[in-house]
């Protein structure tokens, strides 16, 4: 958990601020996982701080969403035409 918080601070992905007077808190929870290799050997422990489901209200508690993981199929759909037509791609 300390590593996750240090990583968030290192990359400035959050900023601690006092809540607005009429604001409310969104419940959070730690999601803990064990990462294993293909043989089932423990590689490392992972922790992620997430907002609890259904506590945040769209338009009240947030107005944007972000997903840091792209599905492989989506990436293939986007890159296939670029490769076929020899187009330049950029992230």
Q: What would the pLDDT profile of 37-76 be if each residue is shown by its tens digit?
A: 999 999 988 888 887 776 767 777 677 776 677 788 888 9
Percent over 70 (pLDDT), the chain: 92
CB contact set of 8 (below 8 Å; sequence gap of 6+): 14, 49
Q: Does 90 reside within a domain? A: no
Domain count, the chain: 1
The SS3 of residue 89 is: coil
Q: Does 57 reside within a domain? A: yes
Domain span at residue 59 reads 2-84
Q: Does 8 reside within a domain? A: yes
Q: Does 89 reside within a domain? A: no
């Amino acid at each position: 958990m300390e590593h996750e918080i240090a990583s968030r601070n290192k990359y400035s992905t959050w900023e601690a601020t006092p809540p607005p007077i009429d604001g409310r808190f969104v419940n959070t929870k730690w999601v803990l996982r064990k990462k294993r290799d293909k043989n089932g050997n423990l590689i490392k422990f992972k922790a992620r701080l997430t907002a609890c489901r259904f506590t945040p209200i769209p338009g009240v508690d947030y107005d944007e969403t972000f997903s840091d993981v792209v599905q492989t199929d989506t990436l293939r759909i986007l890159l296939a035409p670029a490769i076929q037509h020899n187009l330049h791609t950029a992230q």
